[in-house]
Amino acid sequence: MADDDEYFVIPVPLHRKRIYLYLIRHGQSQANVSPLLKKATDPYTDPTLTRLGMEQAITDSRAIAKCFHKILRKIRVYTSVLLRAQETALLAFPQSDVNIHVANHLKEEPNILQKKFERCEGENFPLPSIQAQQFKMRRANINPSRLVYETNLLQPDGFHYRPEVICTTGSVKKFLHEHADDWRDGEIIVLVIHGHLIRHFLGVSGSTKIPNGGIYQAFDDPVRRTLSIPLHTGEQVQHLLLYHPPQTDRE
């Protein structure tokens, strides 16, 4: 088995750069209130923000201004190809000096549970094989954060990784490889994305509620200089929830 920290570190070296990474879930859209539109993924017909979703994005703008008002650093914003994310970014970052980039890899995966592993973008990002018996034997000595993360990765049978983990890992990895070299030391990176991607960055289970308009801060690894997926580890909170409005349970 590999070292404990390997499982929640994405191997994308940031070359000694200090990056400040913030994650924002898009505001409420018609896809969140209508089951028929929930899995719409066409960038041209994607359901737009509801009035509430617009209000959430504007509230995000105020929260962001409060967080960043003393930070004189460049802000770089990325969104998925879907309109609900792009609209949120435009409302949350109305400043003319903030460039908003659309990233193809930061996308919603339709019917991801029905996809075969070989069809997912993460097929070339192998995850270590864990057998249920091995997992049970290691529970007594395993790092608490590693235990939480492994439990979230595995299917109920304890033998296989969840399909959405394989796919999402590949999407995140491709995004980081494509863009990380462009980031400068001390730069603020904001991703306006979808709930399943935020869960992956934070290393929390699929049942964890990520509210529309929620803002999180993730951290890079100061020792290995790679971007890590922070976790809740006991009383120590390794990712910071900046803004958490009570909203819909739907994705």
Q: Where are the alpha helices (DSSP H) in 69-204?
A: 83-92, 132-138, 144-153, 163-179, 195-202
Q: pTM of the entire structure? A: 0.65
Q: Where are the alpha helices (DSSP H) in the chain?
A: 30-33, 51-68, 83-92, 132-138, 144-153, 163-179, 195-202
Considering the domain boundaries, does residue 78 fall inside one? Answer: yes
Considering the domain boundaries, does residue 168 fall inside one? Answer: yes
Length of the chain: 251
Which domain range does residue 187 map to?
A: 4-34+44-243
Tally of domains in the chain:
1
**CATH number of the domain where residue 155 is located:** 3.40.50.1240
User: pLDDT tens, 165-212?
Assistant: 555 655 666 777 778 778 887 788 889 998 877 776 665 555 667 888
User: If pLDDT is split at 50, 70 and 90, which confidence band does 26 have?
Assistant: very high
- Rounded Cα gap, residues 224 and 71, in angstroms: 25
Considering the domain boundaries, does residue 163 fall inside one? Answer: yes
Considering the domain boundaries, does residue 195 fall inside one? Answer: yes
User: pLDDT tens, 107-164?
Assistant: 654 433 333 333 334 333 333 444 444 545 555 555 554 455 555 555 555 555 555 5
